[in-house]
Amino acid sequence: MAEITAEATAPRPAQDAELGHRRPPLLAVGPLAWAKANLFSSWISTAVTLALGYLLVRWTMGFIDWAFINAIWSVPVTPQGAQTQACRALGGTGACWAVVTEKHRFILFGTYPYEEHWRPAICVLLFIGLYIVSAMRRFWRPALALIWLATLAVIGVLMWGGMLGLSYVPQERWGGLVITLILATFGIALAFPLSILVALGRRSSMPAIKTLCVLYVELIRGVPLISLLFMASVMFPLFLPEGMNIDKLLRAQIAIILFAAAYLAEVVRAGLQALPRGQYEAADALGLTYWQKTGFIILPQALRLVIPPLVNTFIGFFKDTSLVLIIGIFDLLTAGKTAIVEPAWQGFGIEIYVTVGLIYFVFCFAMSRYSQGLEAELNRHRVR
């Protein structure tokens, strides 16, 4: 008997090893099988695949021709101005990147004094550094707030000058990418905490606070951002006492913060509502105070739930900052438009817009990728 038992169990490993050597047929798994199942499963799907493939190849080749092979990267500049005849001779068959080569400083820094461009350049790098540091979880501690304050102070000093031997540059001369980053960073950094307070207020048991928050959200959400910006730039000064003047950029910034906070508040509220009541009750039963409950139990869970719509809104606002062009603030997009007002460069809008679009894309794509990683990491506790 014992022998039989041994016989029955012994061959197993060998069998497993044998099984391990057998590969599934090539057409059942792997890229070929995937292509067969997804691209060529029927004659219709084969036809669509071939047609789209053809278009894709055509467009890609066309784009490569335009953007690289036929492109002109620089043109001679004489005292009379840039000589763009070579670009015009292309007749649209190639990109005239010379406009970007020539105007990139203007797009990035606007009308900021040319020889002082290093100052906004450092500010852009400081902003990016700030984003990177804030993105790393090991820096998520109270000291991060100090890092922010210090960095923003340095940025302020660099941009304005008027001290430490830096020449004074009035705000009207700031422009380009720095303006976009200032509006977006302050906008999101201040709107987000405000939105949390508003969302909590909307669920408050105190009628006065609740009504105030509902009114705020409904009023701000009910008007377009453009009209808020107009109000901030045209109407708001009318209410101020004679001689008092609040910086135009600051007014636009406040309008953007208020607008963003109303939208974000609704996103946060959705997260608060998604939490089961038991979480509130368990925190209450343990004797946690309202703010302990909110800070340790409710918000950490609610915000994790709404990372995708939050980032969606952030990205939207990053791009919406471009609306300030309407009240004459020189952000990235306005600087780009202004760069091609000069007669020599008129008609090269595509190159400029592609470049500006690329800059926006880099920032937005980074936000999007980061949020996906963050979501996966923060929601690890839900995976068994």
Partner 1 sequence: MSTTMDPAGAAPHLASAARTDAPPAIVLDKVNKWYGSMHVLRDVTLSVATGERVVVCGPSGSGKSTMIRCINRLEQHQEGRIIVDNMELTDDTRSLDAIRREVGMVFQSFNLFPHLTILENCTLAPIWVRHMPKKEADELAMHYLSRVKIPEQANKYPGQLSGGQQQRVAIARALCMKPKIMLFDEPTSALDPEMIKEVLDTMVGLAEDGMTMVCVTHEMGFARQVADRVVFMDRGEIVESGVPEQLFNDPKTDRLKTFLSQILRGH
Q: Rule CB under 8 A: which residues touch partner 1?
A: 276, 278-279, 281-289, 292, 296-297, 300-301, 304, 381-384
Q: Which is nearer to partner 1, 24 or 278 (CB)?
A: 278
CB of residue 381 to partner 1, shortest distance in Å: 4
Beta-bridge partner residues of 72: 96
Return all residues near 106 (Cβ < 8 A) that are at least 6 apart.
176, 335, 338, 339
Considering beta carbons, is residue 42 or 205 the nearer one to partner 1? Answer: 205
Among residues 301 and 368, whose Cβ is nearest to partner 1?
301
Question: Is 183 or 297 the residue whose CB approaches partner 1 more closely?
Answer: 297
Alpha carbon 87 to its chain's center: 33
Give least dist CB 194 to partner 1, A: 24
> Minimal CA–CA distance to 127: which of 101, 102, 98, 158?
158
Task: Name which of 208 and 244 has its Cβ closer to partner 1.
Answer: 208
Judge contact between 138 and 377, C-beta under 8 A.
Answer: no
Q: Which residues contact 259 (CB under 8 A, 6 or more apart)?
A: 191, 220, 225, 228
Rounded least distance, CB 137 to partner 1, Å: 14
Nearer to partner 1, 91 or 287 (CB): 287
| Closer residue to partner 1 (CB): 306 or 344 | 306
**Minimum distance from CB of 188 to partner 1 (Å)?**
24
CB of 209 to partner 1, least distance (A): 17
3-class secondary structure, 26: coil
Closer to partner 1 by CB, 101 or 301: give it: 301
Distance (Å, rounded) from C-alpha 262 to C-alpha 236? 20
In the complex, minimum distance from the CB of residue 380 to partner 1, in angstroms, rounded to a whole number? 8
Q: Taking the complex as a whole, how short is the minimal distance between the CB of residue 181 and partner 1, in angstroms? A: 32
- Residue number with CB closer to partner 1 (258 or 283): 283
Tokens for 275, please give them: 């939490």
Q: Is 342 exposed, middle or buried (0-12, 13-18, 19+ CB in 10 A)?
A: middle
- Helix (H) / strand (E) containing 119: helix 118-135
DSSP string, 33-89: HHHHHHTSSSHHHHHHHHHHHHHHHHHHHHHHIIIIIS-B----EETTEE--HHHHH
Tokens representing 223 are: 């008007």
Which candidate, 331, 312, 302, 311, places its Cα nearest to that of 176?
331
User: Please, are residues 134 and 144 in contact by the beta-carbon 8 Å criterion?
Assistant: yes
| Minimum separation from the CB atom of position 305 to partner 1 (A) | 10
Strands (E), the chain: 77-78, 81-82
39 exposure class (CB count in 10 Å sphere: 0-12, 13-18, 19+): middle
Instruction: Report the nearest approach of partner 1 to the CB of residue 276 (Å).
Output: 8
Specify the DSSP element, H or E, that contains 254.
helix 248-274
